[in-house]
Amino acid sequence: MVNKPQPKAKKLMKKLKSRFRLTVLNEKTFEEQFSYSLTPLNLIILFGGFLVVFGTLFYLLVAYTPIKTLLPGYSDGSFNTEAMEARMRVDSLTEISREKDRYMADLRVILSGGNLSNAADTGAHQIEEANLNYRVSDIDEALREQITEEDRFSIQALDNAKKTSNGLLLYRPVNGTISNGFNPKGGHYGIDIIAPKEDPVKAVLDGTIVFAGFTSDGGNVIHIQHNNNMISVYTHNSALLKKSGDRVKAGESIAFIGDSGEYSEGPHLHFELWENGAPVNPEDYIQLD
């Protein structure tokens, strides 16, 4: 009688279930110390169980303890939020730095006696990049038109003007009282004029606005380039009526008295006058009494 060949699966199972005896002997006396009967299947199940148990413990250790932060490429939600906020701050600081660089470059050209032929283009480009879309209220628009009409037919502006030694006719920027005078040694390069809030601020000379914007220390600020290498600076305004690149006439309203900026203590105008790159005392050029 010929034996039929057994299937491979049955042969494998038979080998896995074959019993072996694991014996531990004393090396010197060959005395049996420990003996255990097992099969290859028992060993596979035993090692598989150990792998499952240790794998589960390792997962719990990593998932629910601070060790997970040590893994490369891992980041929790708070870290992602902080990273996003930091990136936004860096982007904002980079844009501010670029604007400051552009402003300083324009200022160097002005102080060296040059003219900003592209001042209007620069101002428009900055506004387009910032995507500003301010809507002026009807009341504000009416107030601006009223001030413009008053400036056009104002005779008082002529009384507030003072003719300098070089023939320039400078107008008083605002009607008020001087609270802090010109002191360049103390770091005060202009004068502070106290005036009622929302009073109009006037340009002292014809010129071009080279900067109109907000700074942390000066608040709403306007810088005007005039002929003869002169620059006038108006800070702490509540609102600005002009933008960079605008041409203004002497005595024309450019802003409103306010209290903006970190260095402001009450409604007033901080006014500076620069000539040939150096600060000069505005009281020597403007009739303020």
Looking at residue 162, its pLDDT comes to 52
Query: Rounded mean pLDDT of the chain?
Result: 77
Q: What confidence tens digit (pLDDT) does each residue in 142-194 have? A: 566 656 555 554 444 444 555 554 556 688 899 889 999 999 898 899 999 99
Cα dihedral: 90, 95, 97, 102 (round 10)? 170
Looking at residue 156, its pLDDT comes to 45
Give the distance from CA 70 to its chain's centroid.
Answer: 32
Cα gap 148→240, rounded to integer Å: 14
Looking at residue 107, its pLDDT comes to 73
Cα gap 76→79, rounded to integer Å: 5
Tokens 């150990």 belong to residue: 50
Reduced to 3 states, what is the DSSP secondary structure of residue 94?
helix
What kind and span of H or E run contains 90? helix 77-111
Looking at residue 155, its pLDDT comes to 42
Sketch the domain layout of the chain as residue ranges.
90-284
Taking CA atoms, 149 is separated from 20, 153, 154, 209, 212, in Å, by 112, 7, 8, 21, 22
Q: For residue 289, name the pLDDT band (cuts at 50, 70, 90).
A: low
Residues comprising the chain, all counted: 289
Looking at residue 105, its pLDDT comes to 77
Q: What confidence tens digit (pLDDT) does each residue in 100-148 have? A: 787 777 777 766 666 655 444 444 444 344 444 445 555 566 566 656 5
Looking at residue 266, its pLDDT comes to 87
Phi/psi zone of residue 196: left (φ > 0), alpha (ψ -120 to 50 degrees), beta?
beta
**CB-based burial of residue 239 (10 Å sphere; 0-12 exposed, 13-18 middle, 19+ buried)?**
middle
Looking at residue 91, its pLDDT comes to 79
Strands (E), the chain: 20-25, 32-38, 162-163, 169-170, 177-180, 190-194, 200-202, 207-215, 219-226, 230-240, 247-248, 253-257, 268-275, 278-280
Q: For residue 258, name the pLDDT band (cuts at 50, 70, 90).
A: very high
Q: Which residue has the higher pLDDT, 213 or 5?
A: 213
Question: Is residue 271 pLDDT above 90, yes or no?
Answer: yes
Looking at residue 148, its pLDDT comes to 58
Global pTM value: 0.49
Looking at residue 272, its pLDDT comes to 94
**90-284: CATH class:** mainly beta
CB 288 within 8 A of CB 160: no
Pairing of strands 219-226, 278-280: unpaired
Per-residue DSSP letters for 150-166? HHHT-SHHHHT-EE-TT
Looking at residue 132, its pLDDT comes to 42
Least-confidence region, from 61-65, 173-177, 178-182, 206-210: 61-65
CB 201 within 8 A of CB 215: no
Percent of the chain whose predicted confidence (pLDDT) is above 90 = 26
Question: Is residue 41 pLDDT above 90, yes or no?
Answer: no
Question: Is residue 1 pLDDT above 60, yes or no?
Answer: no
Percent of the chain whose predicted confidence (pLDDT) is above 70 = 71
